[in-house]
Amino acid sequence: MLHHSTQLRTILSTVPGGQLFVLTDSHTAVHCLPLLAESIGKIPYHVLTIEAGEESKCLSSVQVVWDFLLKHHATREAMLINLGGGMVTDLGGFAAATYMRGIRFMNIPTTLLAMVDASSGGKTGFDYQGIKNVIGSFTQPEATLIDPDFLRTLPVGELLSGLAEMFKHGLIASPRHWQELLAWDIHGQDIATLAPLIADSIAIKERIVAADPQEKNIRRTLNFGHTIGHAIESAMLHNAVPHGTMQHHTYHGHCVLWGMVAEVYLSVVHAGCPREVLTMLTHLMVEYYGRPECNCQQREQLMQWMIHDKKNKVAGGALPQINFTLLRDVGAAVIDQVLPPKDIQEAIEYLFSI
């Protein structure tokens, strides 16, 4: 039974018969749907399962969801429950936001990353023409139900990936959250003691998003670690070997953690951030996240990937500027910092020297 069964049933009692839909991926259909099914009880519902993996966050999957809703005569009163990680909540959120100009939807995140990041904040969307999240909307779910028990079946790499975004929330907004996360026993992976930290992390993100829903100023602090992190992610994904052969999985959160190491280095040099913060983060990286797999050529290309990042505005035809969020200290982030390329290169060299 879900932690929030009562809340779920209250919401479902307002959904007309035959109008309840559940979206899962091939992993959450096995690991998570049984728990949700127990909580839904006797109310009939239709389930659609799509293949797990980021490759499924594409236009043809959006069509599959629309077709599924049409086939089952979903009306304006329909409710879609997105049960899964960020891939499912982003995709299902977009499909629900656009079907009949918007139907009701609810997120039940089942990865740590989706709990603390993807399922709140109202961003929905999918990847298109090789560009991540390039089509989407800002649409809030009717509810987001968090049940940390889902994390018990999550692979450890996925758990670490989500944890990196939690460290980010501590670094940009809360020294207490940062300290509590450092004190949490990562090796032990005790979900019961992680649960209150998840709630704190979500509260931090929601507070920031509420202050700036459209990402005009303070919400950009959430991009901390992502300027260099996205470049590493792009380089590593580019590096991925063809379909069907063995390859290492590129976790978003790991890339963000590496990006944060380089960006804390820049924060020490340019924003007066205490050196101990860099020492702590470097220690975390060595102990749990390892090193990014980029060859020499890719390291040199990271700047190019950053320039291509869609978040950088082009001012009057000039070369795009690379904008950073930096830290004056833990809990004190500053946005829109433009830095000399040689300093950025130096931070990247520091990261690869660890």
Exposed, middle or buried by CB within 10 Å (0-12, 13-18, 19+), for 12? middle
Scan residues 45-74 and list those touching ligand NAD (CB under 6 A): 52-54, 57
Q: Does the active-site annotation cover 101? A: yes
Pairing type for strands 46-50 and 20-25 reads parallel
Do residues 123 and 91 make contact, with C-beta atoms less than 8 angstroms apart?
no
Minimum distance from residue 154 beta carbon to ligand NAD (Å): 4
Of 57, 168, 252, 254, which one is the catalytic site residue?
252
Q: Which is nearer to ligand NAD, 153 or 217 (CB)?
A: 153
Write out the two tokens for 14: 């307002």
* Minimum CB distance to ligand NAD smaller for 253 or for 299: 253
Q: 113 with 90: CB under 8 angstroms? A: no
Nearer to ligand NAD, 150 or 258 (CB): 150
Asked about 206 being catalytic, the answer comes back as no
Residues 7-26 that bind ligand NAD (CB under 6 A): 25
- Angstrom distance (rounded) from CA 135 to CA 126: 6
Q: How far apart are CA 20 and CA 118, in angstroms?
A: 23
- In the bound state with ligand NAD, the residue whose beta carbon lies nearer, of 306 and 339, is 306
Q: Supply 55's token pair.
A: 């490759």
Q: Measured at CB, which residue is nearest to ligand NAD?
A: 86
215 given a catalytic annotation:
yes
Q: Catalytic one among 220, 223, 233, 323?
A: 223
List C-alpha distances in Å: 87 to 28, 255, 268, 311, 354.
11, 17, 35, 21, 32
| Catalytic annotation, pick one of 123, 168, 177, 254 | 123
Closest among 191, 89, 117, 201 to 149, alpha carbons compared: 191
Residue 112 CB, shortest distance to ligand NAD, in Å, is: 8
**Residue 154 touching ligand NAD (CB under 6 A):** yes
Identified catalytic residue from 54, 142, 180, 215: 215
- With CB under 6 A as the contact rule, the residue among 88, 145, 285, 339 that binds ligand NAD is 88
d(CA 166, CA 266): 20
CB of 139 to ligand NAD, least distance (A): 10
Q: Which one-letter amino acid corresponds to residue 5?
A: S
| Rounded least distance, CB 296 to ligand NAD, Å | 28
Cα distance between residue 336 and residue 219, in whole Å: 11
Taking CB atoms within 8 Å and a gap of at least 24, the contacts of 336-343 are 336/220, 337/270, 337/271, 339/266, 339/270, 341/303, 343/266, 343/269, 343/270
What minimum distance in Å lies between the beta carbon of 341 and ligand NAD? 27
Active-site positions read 101, 123, 165, 205, 215, 219, 223, 226, 230, 252
Chain residues that interact with ligand NAD, rule: CB under 6 A? 25, 27-28, 31-32, 52-54, 57, 84-88, 90, 110-111, 113-114, 117-118, 121, 123, 132-133, 150, 153-154, 158, 161, 252
